[in-house]
Amino acid sequence: MSDSGKNPTQIGDYFIPDLCRGQGLLGLSAIAALSAVLIALLHSGIGDFDFLWLGKIGLFVCWIALISALFLCRARPYLTNLSPPQVALINYLLVLLAAALCAVAAEYWNSYSASGIWQADPISILNTVLITAIPAGVILRLYYLQQRLYQQQSASLEARLAALQATIRPHFLFNSMNSLATLIRIDADKAERIVENLCDLFRYALKDSKSVTLKEEVDACERYLGIEKLRLDERLE
């Protein structure tokens, strides 16, 4: 879903993960395996579970998943500038194309193995495409929602960082730290009070609350003035 260094694996609004490596490929393989088990259970039930049929359908589903991943990976560089609906539609059609190709290949192979004649059943191919269409649509939707959640979390984190930077001005913090480094050597008591006030200010700035009381705001101002007074000493007068 993202290129290296990003999590989840997305580029901008492109919400499809990178299915040719890492977590994307592992997740796709897990989905394919679970889908094969589900199809096998629906086919024979728990009582008459057919492991041989599971192996065959599992191989078929894995081929669809891997060829779909190949198509999506190859198309990825050409789709990154498109809108999410366009990306979803094109990738959805590519998955259905992969399912159709695998179904055609399986039909020809089965017919040739059974009768020595190359032929395919269009209804069986259509069934495969329709069965693939449902989980493919659900998975694409989940990918999109995952990317939206990641964007919202990133925006929230950036907003909190901006609020923190606005509350604790960088030059004030750096000046306080420089003064603290000097006072440690010549006046340990003042240095200790600056550290205490700085801790209280940071605790106030990082408080996870949308509103504060007037007393908390006044206390924060007093802490700020206390640091400035200790730092500037008589110059503040």
**pLDDT tens digits, 161-177:** 777 666 666 666 777 77
- pLDDT surpassing 70 at residue 85: yes
pLDDT in the model for residue 98: 93
- pLDDT surpassing 50 at residue 1: no
82 vs 211: which has the higher pLDDT:
82
pLDDT in the model for residue 18: 79
Least confident of 27-41, 139-153, 170-184: 170-184
pLDDT band, very low/low/confident/very high, at 6 (cuts 50, 70, 90)? very low
Hey, where are the domains in the chain? 22-158, 168-236
Q: Specify whether the backbone of 12 is left (phi greater than 0), alpha (psi in -120 to 50) or beta.
A: left
Q: For residue 122, which amino acid is it?
A: P
Q: How far apart are CA 197 and CA 170, in angstroms?
A: 16
Mean pLDDT for 128-136 is 90
Q: Are 31 and 58 in contact (CB under 8 A)?
A: no
pLDDT band, very low/low/confident/very high, at 11 (cuts 50, 70, 90)? very low
State percent of the chain over pLDDT 90. Answer: 10
pTM: 0.59
User: How many Cα atoms within 13 Å fall on the side-chain side of residue 233?
Assistant: 6
Mean pLDDT for 107-128 is 80
Tell me the pLDDT of the chain averaged across its residues: 79
- pLDDT surpassing 90 at residue 120: no
H or E stretch covering 217: helix 214-232
Say which residues have a Cβ less than 8 Å from residue 164's Cβ, sequence separation at least 6. Answer: 205, 206
Burial 91-100 (b: 16+ CB within 10 A, else e): beebbbebbb
pLDDT in the model for residue 129: 92
State percent of the chain over pLDDT 70. Answer: 83
pLDDT in the model for residue 152: 86
Q: What is the DSSP string of 118-153?
A: ----HHHHHHHHHHHHHHHHHHHHHHHHHHHHHHHH
Cα torsion 112, 113, 114, 116 to 10°: value is 40
